[in-house]
Amino acid sequence: MRLDITLITILVTGAISFYTLYMDQNLLDKLILRPFRDSKEGNYYTLATSGFVHADFSHLFFNMLTLYFFGRHVDMVLGPLGFMGLYLASILISNFISFQKNKADANYASLGASGGTSGIVFASILFYPYSKIFFFFIPIPIPGPLYAILYLGYSYYASKNRQDGINHDAHFYGALTGLAVAILVQPLSLIAFIQYVLGGFM
């Protein structure tokens, strides 16, 4: 039987998130990325652990739902080790950028798997450019490449006008990291992607 790395990641993340949310809030605080605190104490492990805890059930649900729908597509191309490498790299790099940008802000904190899931989504779009993205509140499918452009544009804008308490940097840099890793591992996928996109305009 083939290892379902997507399901395993969802179960592990769900278990850690539920435990810290409802049984051990002190542990939750230790695992959250707090750049000001962590830089003073040398708690660099939070660059990784903050990607496995969530603020509430809805936060966890939407991240894991995204991972469920896109993760298996990436696993089919990269395999379990490639999947985890890309997922963890997206979490670590996006969190590192947030860490560097917010070391002087004593009130800044970040948690959630958004950096990792964004990386998985963008890798999936690269590998399957003909895919369509569906939203609950939008009745029509959005082509994957168009969604990628809109996602990056909105995340960049929102990160510059941060007012909603969401770490849009994690979305933006997680997506770019996932895309970069996917291209590095499967360079021919970029050629196929470009050919598909150009074919749509010719």
- Domains of the chain are 5-200 (1.20.1540.10)
The structure's pTM equals 0.93
| pLDDT value, residue 70 | 96
Residue percentage of the chain with pLDDT more than 90:
82
Q: Are strands 138-143 and 132-135 parallel, antiparallel or unpaired?
A: antiparallel
Question: Which residue carries 């379990």 as its tokens?
Answer: 80
CA 16 centroid distance within chain: 17
Residue 54 token pair? 């969530």
Higher per-residue confidence, 200 vs 28 = 28
Residue percentage of the chain with pLDDT more than 70:
95
Please check the confidence at residue 60 and state whether its pLDDT lies above 80.
yes
Model confidence at 202, pLDDT cuts 50, 70, 90, reads very low
Average pLDDT, the chain: 93
User: What crossing angle do the helices spanning 144-160 and 168-185 adopt, rounded to 10°?
Assistant: 140
Distance CA 112, CA 102 (A): 17
For 111-168, the pLDDT digits (tens) are 999 999 999 999 999 999 999 888 766 678 889 999 999 999 999 898 887 666 788 8
Helix (H, G, I), strand (E, B) or coil at 133: strand
Q: Which residues contact 54 (CB under 8 A, 6 or more apart)?
A: 13, 17, 21, 60, 63, 111, 112, 113
